[in-house]
Amino acid sequence: MTIGSFILKNALRNKRRATLSILSVAVSLFLLVTLMVALRELTLPPEDIGAALRIAVRSKISIANVLPARQRPIIERIPGVEAVSPFTFFWGTFKNEESLTFAQFAMDPMLLRVLFVELKLPDKEYADFEKDRRACIIGKLTADKYHLKVGDRITLASAIYQATLDFNIAGIYSGTIDDRNMLFHHKYFDEATGDLGQVGMWWVKVKSPEDMPRVITAINQAFANTSAEVRAESERAFQLGFISMWGNIKLLVGSICTVVVFTLILVSGSTMSMAIRERFRELAVLKAIGFRRRELFAFILAESFGLAMFGALIGVGGAYALYTYGSIAKMTNGIFITFEVTPKIVGIGALVAACLGIVASIAPAIAVARMSVVNGLKTLD
């Protein structure tokens, strides 16, 4: 019998306990990886190719406050601005569903391709969208979810504006970081709501990345000390600011991850201590025939480390396979669009497993080191 086979035989002596130990590590690391990926997606939302040129302009007071439509020509005259479109959230419910299932925004359809260069839409569908005031385009994810196609009619009832609008689906777009939304004519929205002269926010496109800081400053200063002060920021800053409204996500997810790791250490340490305690007599025999303390510690460490890494292979590897090759949009009902398990997250998962294997072996190794041959031989006699 080789040393390797000896360690493997001891690790699998109690197959039920070994299986449960591996599964506990695998499930915990799967949860840990999931939380880390979710935190990354929430705090570092992906950017598309047009994000570097887009500016979000919203009310300085709150994103829920509307802005006057008369601001548009003022923004358009600022040097470096290429296009300005209103962007108003409709908050319409579909098929009498109680909650919002996909977002709808009213905008200037003539500026769709100028603002969102990454959006993919056939020319015919884009032309149909432009010329029909009641037309809309929807993201591919939403179209697939509700089995909608070009030419279908849908009705949305707004929970904000007390208006119900009928739409003709002129096209189905894809290629953006969020292919769930619906876009429609702002003029149709104005007609349905009594032309209030208000917009939810402005989306601005600048001519070059170098113009971005100057245009942001100019927009903020243009409406400073007015009744409708604004906050202009890059699309990236807007995304992160929107996420921050949910509270301290990093602290919450970080706390959960800490609890998961701490609990896993306790469970693994207890399991290893129990397994070694049952073999005190055998370890005493090894001591008696000349094995030194460091060699016995190496046996225990190898067993603990092996079980932890095998659990990591299942847990971390399973998470990587599921989120890489599975559809996270379907699994989360559209809450998340992407779920990227990066090499850094895989490395953290493997590192946690390695540390777990080492820490779990310390207590039983100390117990074996302190054990005398005589007392060990008396154990479980």
Question: What confidence score (pLDDT) does residue 381 get?
Answer: 46
Tens digits of residue pLDDT in 143-156: 888 889 998 999 88
Domain locations in the chain as residue ranges? 3-46+247-378, 61-228
Joined tokens for residue 131:
């010329």
Give dist(CA 15, CA 6) in Å, integer: 15
Q: Do the strands 182-185 and 104-107 form a parallel or antiparallel pair, or are they unpaired?
A: parallel
Is pLDDT of 296 > 80?
no
Write down the mean pLDDT value for the chain.
Answer: 82
Tens digits of residue pLDDT in 211-263: 889 999 999 999 998 889 999 998 877 877 666 655 567 777 778 888 888 88
Q: Do the strands 135-139 and 164-173 form a parallel or antiparallel pair, or are they unpaired?
A: parallel
Is pLDDT of 188 > 80?
yes
Tens digits of residue pLDDT in 108-138: 999 998 988 888 999 999 999 999 999 999 9
The one-letter amino acid code at 171 reads G
Tens digits of residue pLDDT in 15-70: 777 788 888 889 889 999 998 888 877 766 555 666 778 999 999 888 888 999 99
